[in-house]
Chain A
Amino acid sequence: DGGITQSPKYLFRKEGQNVTLSCEQNLNHDAMYWYRQDPGQGLRLIYYSQIVNDFQKGDIAEGYSVSREKKESFPLTVTSAQKNPTAFYLCASSILTGYEQYFGPGTRLTVT
């Protein structure tokens, strides 16, 4: 399970609070991604980054923010503006010239 890690595994927050999910990789990958998964659905792209200090919105970026200050790290902040934040969040990484994405173990966020 090494290579790409996410913490914590479970996270609980009250509505109205911002929360930051961690994603770290030691694979020397340039590209990193954040996906959201809801029950019975596929993964949907939130944000991605191909290089340090640069990132792009995916299909469902509203209510989320990211930063990419280091190649190894791509934290995701779920803001209070996200209307339905409870979900399973998956981080992934890949090399720029490669096809395969490697997924982290995920963080299950519950907001009440």
Chain B
Amino acid sequence: GENVEQHPSTLSVQEGDSAVIKCTYSDSASNYFPWYKQELGKRPQLIIDIRSNVGEKKDQRIAVTLNKTAKHFSLHITETQPEDSAVYFCAASRGPGANNLFFGTGTRLTVIP
């Protein structure tokens, strides 16, 4: 099955700096890569996703890049704010019809005011 690894497990940045979280996956058939933000005791919330037919996707301060050859994808958050503090999870799946998500182990991001 799919194996998703995520690094780092914890990340502290100063407010206004950028944060980068990296994930690798093992299943070459995976073609959907979402990123979730989870606050303590709450449900995961999808913040951005990318499909394998694109290499980069941006949404305001958040961007995701995908390198299918190397089987890795990354989350970039620019101009970080204290409200960005949370646990972030990457995931991978084969897409519709077989879209069981395989999650990384999470990154706890702390933005220091």
Q: Determine if B106 and A98 form an interchain contact, defined as CB atoms under 8 angstroms apart.
A: no
Q: Determine if B43 and A42 form an interchain contact, defined as CB atoms under 8 angstroms apart.
A: no
Residue interface mask B77-113, A partner, CB < 8 A = 1: 0000000000001010101110111111110000000
A75 is an interface residue with CB less than 8 A from chain B: no
Of all chain A residues, the one with the shortest Cβ separation from B1 is A59
Quick one: which of A88-112 are within 8 Å of B by CB? 90, 94, 96-101, 103-106, 108
Task: Say whether, besides A90-B44, A99-B32, A99-B49, A58 and B103 are in contact (CB < 8 Å).
Answer: no
**Chain A, interface SS category:** loop
Chain B interface size, under 10 / 10 to 19 / 20 to 34 / 35 or more: 20 to 34
Q: Determine if B1 and A40 form an interchain contact, defined as CB atoms under 8 angstroms apart.
A: no
A41 and B6 CA atoms in complex are apart in Å by 11
Q: Determine if B46 and A100 form an interchain contact, defined as CB atoms under 8 angstroms apart.
A: yes
Q: How far is the CB of B26 from chain A (nearest CB, A)?
A: 14
Task: Say whether, besides A99-B49, A100-B46, A33 and B100 are in contact (CB < 8 Å).
Answer: yes
Q: Which residues of B contact A59 (CB under 8 A)?
A: 1
Quick one: which of A31-58 are within 8 Å of B by CB? 31, 33, 40-45, 48, 58
Q: Determine if B44 and A97 form an interchain contact, defined as CB atoms under 8 angstroms apart.
A: no
Task: Say whether, besides A43-B89, A59-B1, A103 and B49 are in contact (CB < 8 Å).
Answer: no
Q: Which residues of A contact B89 (CB under 8 A)?
A: 42-43
Quick one: which of A6-65 are within 8 Å of B by CB? 31, 33, 40-45, 48, 58-59
Of all chain A residues, the one with the shortest Cβ separation from B46 is A100
Additional pairs, 7, CB under 8 Å, beyond known A42-B104, A105-B42: A40-B9, A40-B106, A99-B32, A99-B34, A100-B46, A103-B43, A103-B44
Please name 29 pairs of A and B residues whose Cβ atoms are closer than 8 Å in the assembled complex, sorted by A. Answer: A40-B9, A42-B6, A42-B89, A42-B104, A43-B44, A43-B89, A43-B101, A43-B103, A44-B103, A45-B100, A48-B100, A58-B100, A94-B99, A96-B96, A97-B96, A99-B32, A99-B34, A99-B49, A99-B51, A99-B93, A99-B99, A100-B34, A100-B46, A101-B34, A101-B46, A103-B43, A103-B44, A105-B42, A108-B41
